[in-house]
């Protein structure tokens, strides 16, 4: 099934069973799901297959960042799982990004969207300074977007705060935006946030939402409320 909505729910759950219980409360016509580091490390490829079996398209958010050969082979393994989207860190560099794109092209057939992570939405300027980057997040995002464009990636993970500037310079790239917070929700550890409606207006293609839905007392109702905000 091809899902038409921009919503991706982050299933940051501690076990296979917990993820399936949460997935039961979601509707695959209203959202895709994201399997990240915690869930995949605990539950492995079986959880991806189980979610696909329930009708969900899966974004495998493992943010690969390694030497080109290792990263590319990891991306190929993700493609073999039949995931809809996979990602790598742009800061792995042009050769790493290119190797990841090339291995998917060589494989042929239906392939996942290959998305480059720019600057994590939990980071602000002080965090970049701590790692030796004396630059505003938005500027660093644009730099890394240029690398992703040159390497032929399909899109970027970025904050929706950068979406308008990115769409202006890199119209081809699809923008996947975590750090989405419905009005009144806690920001948690996120720093560069926007509401769902603001994010779409700014040009985001896909909105990643985790805790505001999965930790709500009624996740199905929380998802429906976001859908309503966007319609
Ligand atoms: O820059 C990034 C990249 C990935 N994420 C992931 O998205 C979700 C967000 O969850 P919330 O509960 O809505 O904060 C989470 O799985 C992160 O690993 C991100 O937040 N920022």
Would you say residue 77 lies in a domain?
yes
Which phi and psi (to 5°) does residue 63 adopt? 45, 65
Whether residue 121 is annotated as binding a ligand: the answer is yes
What number is the ipTM of this complex?
0.99
Domains of the chain: total: 1
Compute, in angstroms, the gap from residue 88 CA to the centroid of ligand 1.
14
What does the pLDDT profile of the chain (231 residues) look like in tens digits? 567 899 999 999 999 999 999 999 999 999 999 999 999 999 999 999 999 999 999 999 999 999 999 999 999 999 999 999 999 999 999 999 999 999 999 998 899 999 999 999 999 999 999 999 999 999 999 999 999 999 999 999 999 999 999 999 999 999 999 999 999 999 999 999 999 999 999 999 999 999 999 999 999 999 999 999 999
Domain with 42, as residue range(s), is: 7-230
Q: How many other β-carbons are positioned within 10 Å of the β-carbon of residue 184?
A: 7
Q: Identify whether the C-beta of residue 24 lies closer than 8 Å to the C-beta of residue 16.
A: no
> 2 lies in a domain?
no
Q: Is 67 among the annotated ligand-binding positions?
A: yes
pLDDT for res 48: 99
Q: What is the pLDDT of residue 42?
A: 98
Q: What is the pLDDT, as a whole number, of residue 1?
A: 54
At residue 165, the pLDDT reads 98
| DSSP class per residue in the chain | ------EEEE---SSHHHHHHHHHTS-TTT-EEEE-HHHHHHHTHHHHHHHHHTT--EEEEEEE-S-HHHHHHHHHHHHHTT-SEEEEEGGG-HHHHHHHHHHHHHH-SS--EEEEE-S-TT--HHHHHHTT--S-HHHHHHHHHHHHHHHT-SEEE--GGGHHHHHHH-TTSEEEE--B--TT---TT--S-B-HHHHHHHT-SEEEE-HHHHTSSSHHHHHHHHHHHH-
- Say how many Å lie between the CA of residue 231 and the centre of ligand 1: 23
Give the model's pLDDT for residue 2: 64
- In sequence order, the 6+-apart residues with CB closer than 8 A to the CB of 201 are none
Q: Which residues are known catalytic residues?
A: 61, 63, 66
Query: Is residue 1, in this structure, part of any structural domain at all?
Result: no
Domain presence at residue 115:
yes
> Nearest-CA neighbor of 166 among 106, 119, 218, 133?
119
Distance from Cα 109 to the centre of ligand 1, integer Å: 29
Residue 192, C-beta contacts closer than 8 angstroms, at least 6 positions apart: 121, 123, 124, 137, 159, 161, 162, 179
Contact 57, 30 (CB under 8 A): no
- 76: domain CATH number is 3.20.20.70
Residue 205, marked binder: no
pLDDT at 209: 98
């Amino acid at each position: 099934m091809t899902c038409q909505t921009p919503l991706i729910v982050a299933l940051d759950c501690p076990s296979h069973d917990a993820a399936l219980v949460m997935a039961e409360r979601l509707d695959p016509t209203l959202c895709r799901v994201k399997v990240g580091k915690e869930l995949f490390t605990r539950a492995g490829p079986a959880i991806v297959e189980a979610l696909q079996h329930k009708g969900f398209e899966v974004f495998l958010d493992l943010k690969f960042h390694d030497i080109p050969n290792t990263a590319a082979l990891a991306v190929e393994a993700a493609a073999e799982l039949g995931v809809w989207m996979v990602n790598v860190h742009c800061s792995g560099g042009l050769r790493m990004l290119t190797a990841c794109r090339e291995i998917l092209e060589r494989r042929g057939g239906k392939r996942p969207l290959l998305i480059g992570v720019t600057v994590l939405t939990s980071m602000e300027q002080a965090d970049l300074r701590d790692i030796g980057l004396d630059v505003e997040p938005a500027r660093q995002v644009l730099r890394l977007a240029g690398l992703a464009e040159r390497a032929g990636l399909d899109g970027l993970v970025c904050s929706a705060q950068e979406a308008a500037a990115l769409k202006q310079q890199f119209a081809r790239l699809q923008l996947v935006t975590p750090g989405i917070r419905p009005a009144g929700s806690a920001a948690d550890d996120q720093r560069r946030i926007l509401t769902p409606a603001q994010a779409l207006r700014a040009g985001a293609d896909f909105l990643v939402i985790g805790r505001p839905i999965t930790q709500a007392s009624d996740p199905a109702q929380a998802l429906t409320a976001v859908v309503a905000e966007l319609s």
